[in-house]
Structure 1
Amino acid sequence: MKNKPDDRRDNVDRIQHNISNTIHNIELAEEMIAKTDDNKMKNTIEEKNERRRDALKGMREEIKDEAIDKQNGYK
């Protein structure tokens, strides 16, 4: 069985897409928090958004690394 070659040309685009989706999900969750009176649900959503924000930090670091790697020819 042949392995697929490491094709990282679209990694920056893929990561940027994931960042955009995550930001959108945070915004939707914030709207839901504003509309609900259920404190348990608010806490759950706020915790999830905190995890999303942490993930965003990681994705932004990854996109920087990929951009540098791309600049260096993925060496």
Structure 2
Amino acid sequence: MALNIKNAQVESLATEVSQMTGESKTEAIRRALEERKQRLSFQVVHENRADELRSFLEREVWSAIRARSSSRRLGAR
């Protein structure tokens, strides 16, 4: 399957990167896309972990802290 790039800036970037690395333009573009895909996948995983951590903290930690704080205000230990 062919890819026809009709954007001067993309063409220029591909040329610059291929000259810097000694790769073909095709290889430079392929590697750039693979690296971006990995970064995006990594972000999704970490966003999910952040949500999971937040849920855990709300459910297990913060609720226990609130319960202790409430009972201390009432004079219980």
Output the TM-score relative to the length of structure 1.
0.48
Higher gyration radius (CA): 2
Considering fraction of residues, name the structure with more helix: 2
Query: Which is bigger in relative contact order (C-alpha 8 A, separation at least 6)?
Result: 1
